[in-house]
Amino acid sequence: MSLFDRLVTRFSGLESALNELDAATGDGDHGSTILKGLKAAADAETGRARFFRTVAGGASGSLFSRLIAALETVEADAMPLGAALGQAADQITQLGQAKVGDKTMLDALVPAAEAANTDPANAATAAAAAARKGADGTKALSARRGRARYVEGKGVGHLDAGAVSVAEMLDEYATWRTSA
Amino acid sequence: MKKLFNAADRMADDMIDGFVAAYAPVVVRGAHPRVVRRRHPKPRDEKVALVIGNGSGHEPIAMGFVGEGLLDANVVGDVFAAPSADLILEGIREVTGEAGAVLLISRHEGDVINGQAAVMDALDEGLKVRPLLMYDDISSAPKGEEEERRGAAGTIFIYKILGAAAETGMALDDLVALGEDVRARTRTLGAAIAPGVSPLTGQPMFALPDDEIFIGMGVHGEPGVARRKIGPVGDLVGFMMDELLADRPIEAGTPTVALINGSGGTTRMELLTVYREVAAILDARGVPTTSPVIGSLSTTQETAGFSISLLTATPSMLALWEAPQASPDFPRIYGAGAGR
């Protein structure tokens, strides 16, 4: 199975859980948005990121399309994982004007890129573990960006749905990479 | 609440239909139905294009300011929703030539993310485009964190001054630098008196007791940051001007342009009264006022309220602010030399 077909399967199972996570601080459609985009990306021959963005729509579509582009690149072995994730993190930083600690997807993505660069031999599993740890850590954070910023309590006590999605995507990538 | 529209999912499209039909001599629909362009643009290899995308529901901004001496294209999103990156990219492609383009981005999360994503793609396609983030609302982030602030009605200074400068053939990098300078010299503070009704929900956008007003109002109907009891408008404007001048003091003798923007449900009678107070406060401080604009240019449906924007314009900025333009909805500006 291709990486993107696997991601579709995985996020089909996660859709409602991610929607619920998002509902705590946002409009509760994050899982559906990502799944919609992933299906379009999986159906595309090339330029998966653009299809993802168009179909997913909204700000999440623009932000996650940069990670999709990175996954498309490493799927084709066109760049080392750490470099690809680092580039995506830089672009997402510019788009969202966010940084690590703001309770966003970057809290999973930035440590994942660093872990992959530190341990290139086991880049995929190192990135997945770091992303998971980062996503778990968003529970304690108060939001400086994204929807949770406008919610009373700024989302403290809730995982950031975007960070969880990053962790899930990189976990699936690691599984695909080690099984391939 | 009653609203006049055909179907909820056609609101922006039906409005654009009316706009391009009414003002066909100066504007034209782009290749994409959500892009509105100047009908007679200057050659795109010689003039930098000015493009902005924004959610609809705030008219006349920004569609009404497409025309000679102002914007080259506006990308129109759904009601209160930033247009997608794809759509903004479409708008950029339609007007960008060798001279390049500036994408104006009023600093709201969706507009920034989708606008910057469109710029990244446009650069990948080899287009010469630079984003310019616009922010002026002092209630949205404290002094010292200006870059965190949201765009409000003071962004109109940037539209107009860059529009006039681009018309004279100013180069891309110089336009961005000029825009940053205007931004640095602009501050805005708003007040909401009563909520407008969202066309999406049919419900008032916020709740406010009859005798209270919000200071610091978001353009999407976000409630303000401070409350006050309603009283004489002079007291309210006095409070707001103190805040504005504490955030960015204006030295006596510095020519200052005031823009009094109505939010959609405030009368011209009220807006002129607000200007009376603003001008008197500046006059008492020895600050000369010139070339004001008073009107409902950036609205949130029928929200009652207004904002005060102040620009300490350099002489060249002032000339560009006063320069003629031919967009359907930008008001005429009466500078010191007007009427002679």
The pLDDT value given to residue B242: 96
φ and ψ of A162, to 5 deg: -65, -45
Q: Residue B29 pairs with which residues in a beta bridge?
A: B36
Query: Would you say residue B213 has pLDDT above 80?
Result: yes
Give pLDDT tens digits for A47-65.
Answer: 999 999 989 888 889 999 9
Determine the Cα–Cα distance for residues B188 and A35; give it in Å rounded to an integer.
41
Q: What is the CATH number of the domain that holds A56?
A: 1.25.40.340
Q: With contacts defined as CB-CB under 8 Å, which chain B residues touch A96?
A: 109, 112-113
Residue B36 β-bridge partners:
B29, B74
Distance, in angstroms, between B81 CA and closest chain A CA?
9
- Report the chain A residue with the minimal C-alpha distance to residue B84: A58
In this predicted model, what pLDDT tens digit does every residue of B131-170 receive, in sequence order?
999 999 999 888 999 998 999 999 999 999 999 999 999 9
B158 DSSP assignment: H
CA distance B100 to chain A (A): 21
Q: Report how many Cβ contacts below 8 Å link chain A to chain B.
A: 41
> Is B332 within 8 Å of B208 (Cβ atoms)?
no
The pLDDT of residue A148:
66
Instruction: Give B137's DSSP letter.
Output: B
Chain A partners within 8 Å of B86 (Cβ): 53-54
Report the domain count for chain A: 1
Q: What is the pTM of this model?
A: 0.89
Q: Identify the domain containing residue A95 by its residue range.
A: 3-179
**Cα separations (Å) of B157 from A158, A174, B50, B160?**
41, 51, 14, 5
Residue-wise pLDDT for B29-63, tens only, equals 999 999 999 999 999 999 999 999 999 999 999 99
What CA–CA distance (Å, rounded) separates A56 from A35? 8
Show the domains of chain B with their CATH numbers: 12-184 (3.40.50.10440), 186-322 (3.30.1180.20)
Q: What are phi and psi of B12, to 5 degrees?
A: -65, -40
Q: Catalytic: B220?
A: yes
> Tell me, what's the pLDDT at B223?
58
Contacts of B78 (CB under 8 A, 6+ apart): B11, B12, B55, B56
Query: Is B58 designated active site?
Result: yes
Q: What is the mean pLDDT of residues B270-298?
A: 98
* pLDDT per position as a tens digit, B184-204: 999 999 999 999 998 888 888
**Which of B78, B89, B106, B114 has the highest number of chain A CBs within 10 A, making it the mutation to test binding with A?**
B114
Band the pLDDT of A2: cuts 50, 70, 90.
very high
What are the residues of chain B with a beta carbon less than 8 Å away from any beta carbon of chain A?
Answer: 82, 84-86, 109-110, 112-114, 116-117, 120-121, 222
Q: How far is CA A173 from CA A5, A128, B82, B116, in A?
A: 11, 8, 32, 27
